[in-house]
Amino acid sequence: MSSAGLLPSMTELLGAPAKPEASVFTEQPHEPITFAHSELTPPTNLYVTINDSLILQANDLVGGRQIFLDYQILLPNGEIVQGEETVTTKAFSTGGVGKTIPLPEGFILRLGLRSINLAARGEIFGVVYLHRPPGINQLLLQGYLGATSAVGWPIGSTDFMTNGPGSLQFHVVTNPAAGTDWAFFGTSNVRTRIAMINATLTTSAAAANRGVVLQIDQQATPYYQAPASAVQAASLAVVYNAASGVTPLAPVAGVAVLGLPTPCMLGSFWRIHSVTSNLQAADQWSQITIQTEEWMDI
């Protein structure tokens, strides 16, 4: 708030009226063409009636952030009215949020959708439809919101959830019980690119050669298996790393590398997991961390 108690934008507006001067001489004075400035047609073709409404929807990987929809509408009496609606997002895993905004008769001049919170790319996705009963939804704008990704109508991009870079995420997988393998599942309604994986297998003293394989599947038939280049003997700790575009390597300084597909994409509820042959009852997987790039995908 400003010192006068007004919002900053209102303080600006209540200043002395702008009197633009031709500060740059760029034209000769003679202009045979003149422009009408009364009895004009509305400066937009988005005519709406009382039977129409705006529908605002927002999905947020994080949640708890405020989304603002602003719109200007030219009413039948010639007045231009500024509308502003807001919703607070929920975490994507708990569903999106929405709001229906009834409209008066008039002409929508412009719409703007924004988050007042800074948001990295891929986190907050907003959509605004014009709903015309019985079931017609006319898409006006959609896209990821952020300080450097404004969306609006009639100007502004209309983007899809899976376009462009996604959200950088990091996951720690809970250690499984001793003697069992671990699994990471793609989140519901999220497209997940596996960037890097790190996991440590500590083998017990029980004699056996353990063979580590990373497997990707849809909880059924695998579509990719990455075997380690060397087996792991008893009483050792080996860090297994996996990523796209790397050459599989046998352990060097206790670190082994496994190759993943390029790109390594998981659909909703797909999984990547270890399948370790000869895993002994006291063997333990631990420190399982995964970096991903994710796109909401509904």
Partner 1 sequence: MALPPATAALLAPPALPERDVQSLRPAHSVGFNIATAGPPSNLYVTVNDLLQVMLMGISAAPVLVDVRILTADGQIVIQEETISAPANRTRNFFTFRLPEGFILSVSVGPQSVALPRGTLYAQIALVRSQAPAVQYTYILAQGYIGLLAPIYWPNSRSDFSTYEQGLPTSLNQAAPGAGLDWSFTPVVQLRSLLQSMQCTLTTSAAAGTRQVVIQISQAGNIIFTAPAPSSQAPSLAVTYNFTPGVTSIPTAGGVCVTEMPNEVTINSNFTISTVTGGLLAGDQWGIIKVGTMDWLDQ
Q: For residues 235-264, which are near partner 1 according to CB under 8 A?
A: 239, 241, 243-247, 249, 252-253, 255, 257, 262-263
Which is nearer to partner 1, 23 or 94 (by Cβ)? 23
> Under the criterion CB under 8 A, does residue 174 sit at the interface with partner 1?
no
Instruction: Quote the tokens at residue 26.
Output: 């760029």
Which is nearer to partner 1, 25 or 221 (by Cβ)? 25
Instruction: Quote the tokens at residue 50.
Output: 């009382």
Least distance CB 137 / partner 1 (angstroms): 22
Which is nearer to partner 1, 3 or 82 (by Cβ)? 82
Per CB under 8 A, which of residues 198..227 are in contact with partner 1? 198
Question: Binding-site residue total for partner 1 (CB under 8 A)?
Answer: 87
Least distance CB 205 / partner 1 (angstroms): 24
Per CB under 8 A, which of residues 126..145 are in contact with partner 1? 143-144
Least distance CB 138 / partner 1 (angstroms): 19
Least distance CB 125 / partner 1 (angstroms): 13
3-state class (DSSP) for residue 199:
strand
> Under the criterion CB under 8 A, does residue 13 sit at the interface with partner 1?
yes
Closest C-alpha among 161, 211, 194, 210 to residue 270: 194
Which is nearer to partner 1, 22 or 220 (by Cβ)? 22
> Under the criterion CB under 8 A, does residue 44 sit at the interface with partner 1?
yes
Which is nearer to partner 1, 149 or 189 (by Cβ)? 149
Which is nearer to partner 1, 61 or 257 (by Cβ)? 257
Choosing from 127, 152, 216, 284, the residue that interacts with partner 1 (CB under 8 A) is 152
Based on the number of CB atoms within 10 Å of its own CB, is 192 exposed (0-12), middle (13-18) or buried (19 or more)?
A: buried
- Calpha distance 22→29 (Å, rounded): 12
Longest pairwise C-alpha distance within the chain? 97
From residue 133, give the alpha-carbon distance in Å to each of 45, 56, 105, 106, 137.
19, 16, 15, 17, 8
Which residues face 202 on adjacent strands?
237, 284
Q: Report which secondary-structure segment, H or E, holds 11.
A: helix 8-13
Choosing from 108, 151, 190, 216, the residue that interacts with partner 1 (CB under 8 A) is 151
Per CB under 8 A, which of residues 61..120 are in contact with partner 1? 68, 70, 72, 80, 82, 84, 86, 109-112, 114, 116, 118-120
From the CB of residue 297, how many other CB atoms can be counted at a distance below 10 Å?
17
The 222-227 sheet, strands edge to edge: 183-185, 271-277, 211-217, 222-227
3-state class (DSSP) for residue 232:
strand
Q: CB neighbours of 65 closer than 8 A, spacing ≥ 6?
A: 88, 89, 115, 116, 117, 119, 124
> Under the criterion CB under 8 A, does residue 229 sit at the interface with partner 1?
no
Choosing from 3, 4, 27, 174, the residue that interacts with partner 1 (CB under 8 A) is 27
- DSSP annotation of 157: -
Least distance CB 191 / partner 1 (angstroms): 15
